[in-house]
């Protein structure tokens, strides 16, 4: 019998080449649904193709990210650095109306998508907060009764596990990492970034979740980095947004 499987993506950041590479990699695999953890746009030069493609995904559950809010005009990006704000304002100007409206109506996280399974962009307590440490994870575990929460925002694959022994950080390194999740523990899981990885691995990151067998697979796939970088440069966006794609920072 086929096991239920979910695709998990996050932080695409208008990188059409990376998103297409992920979807090509999994196109022959059947998923019960796709979980998207926000930041569809920002930084990259192809916001319309990315949003249009995400809109066509079947059985999609998605939460908004901080860049989504600024790029559609909900917030002004006053707390962004200069490059992020320049890219967000460029995106706001270039988004088609229907894609801008789609972003404006994205759900606010956290969002429970299956019993005990939650989605968030940043953290449980604050959709814009970063979850970088054991202490951040401890606070999130204390804040809500989820069994597993998938989160994004940091662009770094990671797993935090809470058991009777406390909170443990499980680093995710390599192009394919498989974990068996204990039914007696709780988890915070970051699948990494599709469109702008920051763990010094330039390959697009995504995850597959098998709830019936408590299995998680975090995967990486190569994509046309130079094409994505050149489109950023040609759009007149800050050059370092193109250069960082090549080194995964």
Say if CB 192 and CB 10 are below 8 A apart: yes
Q: What percent of the chain has pLDDT over 90?
A: 98
Where do we find the tokens 């962009």?
A: 121
- The confidence band for 40, taking pLDDT boundaries of 50, 70 and 90, is very high
- The confidence band for 3, taking pLDDT boundaries of 50, 70 and 90, is confident
Per-residue model confidence as pLDDT tens digits over 194-247: 999 999 999 999 999 999 999 999 999 999 999 999 999 999 999 999 999 999
Cα–Cα distance list, 198 to 28, 85, 97 (Å): 28, 19, 31
Q: Residue 241 has what pLDDT?
A: 99
Q: Which of 28, 27, 53 is nearest to 41 (CA)?
A: 53
Say if CB 150 and CB 191 are below 8 A apart: yes
- The confidence band for 2, taking pLDDT boundaries of 50, 70 and 90, is low
Judged against a pLDDT cut of 90, whether residue 36 lies above it is answered with yes
Cα–Cα distance list, 149 to 37, 123, 144, 184 (Å): 10, 9, 10, 15
Give dist(CA 82, CA 130) in Å, integer: 19
Judged against a pLDDT cut of 90, whether residue 143 lies above it is answered with yes
User: To which H or E segment does residue 146 belong?
Assistant: none
- Rounded to the nearest 10 degrees, how much is the dihedral formed by the CA atoms of 245, 78, 51, 223? 0
Say if CB 50 and CB 95 are below 8 A apart: no
CA dihedral over 193, 197, 200, 205, signed as positive or negative: positive
Sketch out the chain's domains with CATH numbers: 6-247 (3.60.21.10)
Per-residue model confidence as pLDDT tens digits over 171-199: 899 999 999 999 999 999 999 999 999 99
Average pLDDT, the chain: 98
Per-residue model confidence as pLDDT tens digits over 87-137: 999 999 999 999 999 999 999 999 999 999 999 999 999 999 999 999 999
Residue 159: beta bridge partners? 170, 189
């Amino acid at each position: 019998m086929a096991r239920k499987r979910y695709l998990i993506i996050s932080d695409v950041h208008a990188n059409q080449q990376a998103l297409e590479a992920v979807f090509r990699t999994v196109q022959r695999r059947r998923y019960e649904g796709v979980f998207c953890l926000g930041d569809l746009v920002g930084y990259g030069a192809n916001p319309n193709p990315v949003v249009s493609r995400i809109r066509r995904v079947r059985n999609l559950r998605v939460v908004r990210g901080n860049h989504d809010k600024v790029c559609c005009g909900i917030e002004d990006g006053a707390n962004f650095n200069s490059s992020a704000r320049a890219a967000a304002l460029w995106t706001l100007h270039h988004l088609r109306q229907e894609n801008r409206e789609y972003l404006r109506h994205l759900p606010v996280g956290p969002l429970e998508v299956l019993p005990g399974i939650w989605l968030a962009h940043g953290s449980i307590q604050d959709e814009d907060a970063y979850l970088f440490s054991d202490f951040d994870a401890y606070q999130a575990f204390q804040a809500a009764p989820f069994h597993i929460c998938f989160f994004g925002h940091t662009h770094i694959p990671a797993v935090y596990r809470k058991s009777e022994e406390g909170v443990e950080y499980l680093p995710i390194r390599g192009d394919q990492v498989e974990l068996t999740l204990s039914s007696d523990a709780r988890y915070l899981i970051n699948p990494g970034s599709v469109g702008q990885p920051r763990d010094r691995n330039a390959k697009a990151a995504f995850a597959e979740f098998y709830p019936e067998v408590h299995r998680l697979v975090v995967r990486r796939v190569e994509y046309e980095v130079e094409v994505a970088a050149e489109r950023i440069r040609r759009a007149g966006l800050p050059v370092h947004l193109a250069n960082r794609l090549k080194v995964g920072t």
